[in-house]
Amino acid sequence: MISPLYSRMTAAFPSFTNSSDVGAFEAIVIGGGPAGCACALWLHKLGVRALLVEASDALGGLQRRSPYENLWIPGLMGHTGEEVAGALHRHVHAIGVTCQLNSRVRRIEAADGGFSLRVEGETVRGHYRTQHLVIATGTQPVRGHFRPAHNVAVGPGYPMENLEVRNCKIAILGGGDNAFDQARFVLQRGAKSVTIYSRTPPRAQPGLQALIPQAKVCIGPYTADQARMTVNGEVFDAFGVMYGFAAQLPDGLPQDLELKNENGYIAVNRQGETVLSGLWACGEVTDYWHPCVTTSAAHGIQVAKQISLRLGR
């Protein structure tokens, strides 16, 4: 049953009479990582007509690039990040959530108490309309001035696993958990040596640092040259760039909206709503909670519940 509020919302939008008007939903979620999947799943189960839009060809977000066992999800052991992503993908589709993969949101406009989205995909290209819009686009590895290459990996997971490291000298740039984790994995794969460069005292957990006493750690300023494959003049066979993550925002998000905080993440209140009524965000794109699969999913659920309450469900 369509709520009176939803009927008023759809009536308020301009009428699209051509084939590019591909539909109206009560809620649209942009981004198919743990936050977006959880949000869309709960919206669907709560009786909200929702659409999940994902730019890639499968759901799961950054977990798709992780071949490592994820031991940080309570009650779920023995599964890699990639397997967690696959489970999310299957679950969302199995319960009947409407999904549009391989699709990017090119334009977002606020109009008449709702939003109009221009979406471009492999099978559908046109306008969607919604009263509630959820941004769950997550984060992406910060690459600095580096370009991904056969000998330069940006971020953890498969980019690092694809590097040739056996009997090679490897430089890891960054001092966080991922830097020390990847240094350990590189050594396990037979690297000749690993040097970690951190401009400040390493932020990695002491336990992670203790696992690789054989790694050389250089603290202080450094200059890394990808063209020469040198760090402070020393030649290396490969770089692993572990500069952390930054918010990944939809292409079509209006730049004049003051949605971001001082660190570039989308600012939300306790319910997950931005300063613009009906525009929500959840997961790592907000940096509201510590970034991980569990908190991202919980944030998506929180937003879904608030939207359902707003719709009177």
Is 132 found in the same domain as 12?
A: yes
Is 258 found in the same domain as 128?
A: yes
Give the residue from 216, 241, 266 where a domain finishes: 241
User: Model pTM greater than 0.85?
Assistant: yes
Is 222 found in the same domain as 125?
A: no
Give the DSSP letter of residue 128. Answer: E
Is 260 found in the same domain as 127?
A: yes
pLDDT of 220 above 80: yes
Give the DSSP letter of residue 104. Answer: E
Q: Write out the E strands in the chain.
A: 21-30, 50-53, 98-100, 103-111, 114-121, 125-135, 139-141, 152-154, 169-173, 193-198, 216-219, 224-225, 230-231, 234-235, 238-241, 245-247, 279-281
pLDDT of 122 above 90: no
Is 253 found in the same domain as 119?
A: yes
| 230 CB-near residues (< 8 Å, 6+ apart) | 224, 236
pLDDT of 254 above 90: no
Q: Which residue has the tokens 């009479």?
A: 17
Give the residue from 225, 241, 257 where a domain finishes: 241
Is 47 found in the same domain as 126?
A: yes
Q: pLDDT by residue (tens digit) across 9-57?
A: 323 322 222 334 567 999 999 999 999 999 999 999 999 999 999 999 9
Is 165 found in the same domain as 16?
A: no
- The number of domains in the chain is 2
Q: What's the pLDDT score for residue 111?
A: 77
Where in the sequence is the domain holding 119, given as residue range(s)?
4-140+245-310
Is 136 found in the same domain as 32?
A: yes
CATH code, domain with 127: 3.50.50.60
Give the residue from 241, 273, 293 where a domain finishes: 241
Q: pLDDT by residue (tens digit) across 155-172?
A: 999 999 999 999 999 999
Q: What's the pLDDT score for residue 16?
A: 27
Is 276 found in the same domain as 130?
A: yes
Is 121 found in the same domain as 149?
A: no
Is 10 found in the same domain as 126?
A: yes
| 298 CB-near residues (< 8 Å, 6+ apart) | 38, 289
Distance CA 200, CA 308 (A): 45
Contacts 24+ apart (CB under 8 A), 216-225: 219/175, 222/173, 222/197, 224/146, 224/171, 224/173, 224/197
Q: Give the mean model confidence (pLDDT) for residues 101-121.
A: 92
Q: pLDDT by residue (tens digit) across 223-246?
A: 999 999 999 999 999 999 999 999
Distance CA 307, CA 94 (A): 22
Is 212 found in the same domain as 123?
A: no
